[in-house]
Structure 1
Amino acid sequence: MIHIYICDDEDIARENIRRIIEKSILIEAYDMKIERSCGSPAELLAHLEKSAQRRNLYFLDVELNCQAFDGFQLGKKIRSLDPHGTIAYITSYKELAYKTFQYHVEAFDYIVKGDGQLHGSVVKCLASFTERMKSENTDTDQFYTLRTGDVIRHVPLREINFFETSSKPHFIVLHGEHQRIEFLGSLQDIEAELADQFMRIHRSYLIAMDKIEAIDLKHNQVTVGGEVCLLSKKEKSRLLARAKQL
């Protein structure tokens, strides 16, 4: 799912953009939702720092009434938190477009508010972004996105062997081919996101089905990526059924 953020300090303009996006999502059945619509860069960044969605799309006003940030400075900060996010700028001044290069923001689109074509431009932006996402999903690896401290990491699914609950409450350990990463999360949420490729075989283990090396039914264990994971008795039959489909 694509998570959309809107930041515009003009209430009427922000609400108009929100309505256009929501209507497009409904009509086109886009796999998107508006995660946050706000008038303050601080509010957007505070929310973003607590989240780790796989793919975000940002609609940012350039002329923000904020001493700390204008839209370009906000975009630069977003880039540090979400390197793979997509940014579309909305402004009343078309001639400011060159500043996206000055700040090295790499904007996906530059939409002008006052030219009478705001609705069509936003709709076109969503359609173009959707087409690009389809192309990326076809041509590139899939990733699992997580946050460790102030760093957002995108780990290719093909490099993940399994997830395990940590000895620290509310933390998960990702076991990869070449790394282990501990992060705040829950197996339930990860399972819901990765159900097609991973399976919960125990309250403490979520494993990659294509990384299974051995299933020991006698000792209730599964070897994944050279490591042993516990197998719940009630999940034996479901695991065997899924393993046969590989």
Structure 2
Amino acid sequence: MKIVICEDNPQQQKVIFTKLKNYSMINHPSVEIVLVASNAEEVLKFMNNNKIDCYFLDIDLGIGSNGLELAAKIRKQDVLASIIFVTNYSEALRLTFKYKVAALDYIVKQVDPGFSDSLIGAFESSIQRYNQLGQTKTMNLFQIKMGELIKNIPYENIYYFETSENIHKVRLYEQNGVYEFYEKLKNIEQINPIFFRCHKSYIINIQHVVQINKKSRTIEMANGTECPVSIRALRIIQNKMTENLCRI
């Protein structure tokens, strides 16, 4: 899970970062704090090229910068991300309704004597929500578990799966990396119509097929890889691709 912190007060920024980092190192080592920003512009720029799972935002970000407006822009781009407000304003809950940002939680800095506990509690809620999203089929997220790492990958980002040389493991290739985990291909091929078992050792995402070479019996994927295709699969893959286009 990837986290962004946006807080314009340097001291408060350090407190939030330190508490979350220290806690996650012990309890959730796969969590990454990928950006600590002082204004909305930094966050919006970072969002353009990165998928974020949870935001800790101050509501008052100084002159010309509003955490609620930032949250509204985040929500417009990503309906699934968790948004947690860390604020001086006790009326934050009412304001979040006004901006329709569906915040996961809000923590009042100066009023709340148990600030650290509230911060960690909200963090744990975001972890729980992240895990649940990956287990909900309607979200079109594929969840992988590798030791302490839990990662939700959108179906649309996945190129293909292949069996690993390591027994009982599968390798997943997606836009942001390659992951190997314990699973069987037969448990994957039925999760969504966009995934097609083109070979005994491969399942491809037909949305990322570039071309099919019938002579060499290979399928070129959008990441440049050529996946083998069986004779039987070759006969039906074009129909599969046509069916998928009709659904879009």
TM-score, with structure 1 as normaliser: 0.62
Q: Of 191, 211, 236, which residue of structure 1 is paired with 2:196?
A: 211
Q: What is the identity, as a one-letter code, of the residue corresponding to 2:31?
A: M
Within 2, Cα distance between the matches of 1:222 and 1:122? 51
Q: Is the 8 A contact 2:3 2:53 kept in 1?
A: yes
Alpha-carbon distance in 2 for matches of 1:162, 1:118: 43
Q: Work out the CA distance in 1 between the residues paired with 2:39 and 2:48.
A: 15
Residue of structure 2 in register with 1:6 after alignment: 5
- 1:55-86 deviation per Cα after TM superposition (whole angstroms, max 9, x unaligned): 5100000111031x311111011112222211
Q: Does 1:136 align with 2:121?
A: no
- For the residue of structure 2 that corresponds to 1:5, the secondary structure is strand
Partners of 2:9 and 2:84 lie apart in 1 by 17
SS in 1 for 2:91: helix
Query: Structure 1 residue 63 and structure 2 residue 68: aligned?
Result: no
Distance 1:38 1:19 in 2: 14
For residues 77 and 194 of structure 2, what CA distance do their matches in structure 1 show? 31
2:127 is paired with a residue whose SS is helix
Shift of 1:113: 0.6
2:114 aligns to what? 117
CA apart distance, 1:189: 4.8
Where do residues 22-37 of structure 1 align in structure 2 (5 Å cutoff)?
22-37=21-36
Aligned equivalent of 2:88: 92
Alignment of 1:119-198 (within 5 A): 119-140=116-137, 141-143=139-141, 157=155, 162=159, 189-193=175-179
* Alpha-carbon shift at residue 188 of structure 1 (Å): 7.5
Kindly provide the amino acid, as one letter, of the partner of residue 178 in structure 2. Answer: A
Structure 2 spans left out of the alignment, 5+ residues: 143-151, 161-172, 186-192, 201-213, 231-248
Q: 1:41 to 1:35 in 2, by over 3 A?
A: same
Distance 2:157 2:174 in 1: 17
Per-residue CA distance 1:183-205 (angstroms, 9 max, x = gap): xxxx7754515877899xxxxxx
Percent sequence identity over aligned pairs: 23
SS of aligned partner of 2:53 = strand
One-letter amino acid of the structure 1 residue matched with residue 76 of structure 2: S
Deviations 1:205-241 (A, max 9, x none): xxx99612457xx9542469xxxx8447xxx9xxxxx
Q: What is the root-mean-square deviation in Å for CA atoms of aligned residues?
A: 3.9
* Structure 1 residue matching 2:2: 3-state secondary structure: strand
The amino acid that maps onto 2:17 is R
Give the Cα separation in 2 of the matches to 1:160 and 1:122. 32
> Could you tell me whether the CA contact under 8 Å between 1:49 and 1:81 is conserved in 2?
no
State whether residues 60 and 67 of structure 2, in contact with CA within 8 Å, keep that contact through their aligned partners in structure 1.
yes
Cα distance in structure 2, aligned partners of 1:196 and 1:221:
28
> Partner of 1:179 in structure 2?
none
